[in-house]
Amino acid sequence: MQKKKYLENFGELKKIKENKNIIIAIGGCMMQEEHITDKLKKSYSFVDIIFGTHTLHKVPEDIYKTITKKEKIKDIIDIDGEIYEGLPVKRSNNKQASVTIMYGCNNFCSYCIVPYVRGRERSRKPEDILNEIKELAKEGFKEITLLGQNVNSYNGGNNYKFSNLLKDVEKIEGIEIIRFISPHPKDFTDDVIEVIKQSKKISKLLHVPLQAGSTNVLKAMNRKYTKEQYLNLINRIKKEIPDVVFSTDVIVGFPR
């Protein structure tokens, strides 16, 4: 349904292109799917550039080629791309910033496309993340949200885990609030709970996706935890952090 709507919107782009001399570039997860790009090339030939999730860093080069050589470009590489640092980020405000700490996902929940289009988990180096946050702090940002498809399986190498990263972000002067999304319940380890408990900056509003309250449905979803394990986690967190508040995601009507 969403894909259909997405494709329908391309028709609008054609009108814009006809009225103005512009370059149309389309990118993102869906472009990693071969049948989508085939359809685009066949039915929407006015699109100049198609790029995937691992070639964002090449968009300026693609635009240059389109302008200078009038080429149609499809710039997609398969999953497990490298991490490119230093790409410009447009932030929507100057107090709160989201900082990606890892890409991809290894979990293969049965309803999710992410591992297929974003590849396996790749974590940014701790120093790159911390330097980015220090720069943000200097610019006056106060609130940081650490982002990852499975944020708490962050692996900075040499046994540097998500809890280590949280501790180091806490030390950055100027940052007052730290959040993270989305953790996976199976990776919510005690060291992370302890860091949150000790922290003066990490938000006590924790988002812990449940997805389903039935162990059978969780199994069909390939979530890798049971109802009991999820409840046990929530109780462990509540015991250590009494003022914690939870939010969650629940899929209603999962087709088995």
Taking the least distance from each CB to ligand SF4, the nearer of 184 and 201 is 184
Taking the least distance from each CB to ligand SF4, the nearer of 156 and 183 is 183
Taking the least distance from each CB to ligand SF4, the nearer of 130 and 148 is 148
Residue 32 interacts with ligand SF4 (CB under 6 A): yes or no: no
C-alpha 129/C-alpha 97 separation (Å) is 12
Backbone angles phi, psi at 133, to 5 degrees: -70, -35
CB of residue 115 vs ligand SF4: minimum separation in angstroms? 5
Taking the least distance from each CB to ligand SF4, the nearer of 64 and 108 is 108
Taking the least distance from each CB to ligand SF4, the nearer of 84 and 108 is 108
CB of residue 120 vs ligand SF4: minimum separation in angstroms? 11
CB of residue 107 vs ligand SF4: minimum separation in angstroms? 4
C-alpha 201/C-alpha 144 separation (Å) is 10
Site for ligand SF4 in 103-162 (CB under 6 A): 105, 107-109, 112, 114-115, 149-150
Site for ligand SF4 in 161-190 (CB under 6 A): 184
Size of the site for ligand SF4 (CB under 6 A): 10
Task: List interacting residues with ligand SF4 (CB under 6 A).
Answer: 105, 107-109, 112, 114-115, 149-150, 184
